[in-house]
Each structure stands twice: as structure tokens, then as C-alpha cells.
Amino acid sequence: MFSSSSQPSGAATAAVPSPCISVCRIDPATGWCEGCYRTIDEIAHWGVLDDGEKLGVWAELKRRRAETR
């Protein structure tokens, strides 16, 4: 479902998928989930975000992943 660039595939034609990979632990140093890199607020609000907001979260996740490498 995801491309190698960690972006949702088919985002223009389908609902934006959740980045959750079922590794749900918040890193106390960053405040990000160790699996998907979302904050607890992003996780909690995912279901009510519109597709544009979800794509914005995906962009932020890409930045966070790059920051941790």
C-alpha cells in the first residue's frame, strides 16, 4: 500500500491511509510514536482529519523520519 518513499500510494484516488504500522510506543524524548512518527494528538485526531490534513501529517512524518536518520 505504501511506496518506498513512505508516502501513501493512490492518495489522489482513495482515502488517505493511516501511517500506523502497529508499533505503538511514544518516545519520551521526541513525543513521536516509534512506529509511525506521529504525535499522540495526531494519532488521536486522525479519524476526524480531512484528506488534506492527513496529507499534511504524511509530509511531516517524512521530515521526522529524515531528521532521525
| Interval 8-65: pLDDT, tens | 555 455 699 999 999 999 999 999 999 999 999 999 999 999 999 999 999 999 999 9
Q: Where are the alpha helices (DSSP H) in the chain?
A: 40-45, 51-68
pLDDT at 4 over 50: no
Model pTM score: 0.77
Residue 63's contacts (CB-CB under 8 Å, 6 or more residues apart) are: none
The predicted structure's pLDDT at residue 48: 96
Task: Give the rounded distance of the alpha carbon of 69 from its chain centre.
Answer: 17
pLDDT at 69 over 60: yes
- Give the SS3 label for residue 16: coil
The predicted structure's pLDDT at residue 25: 97
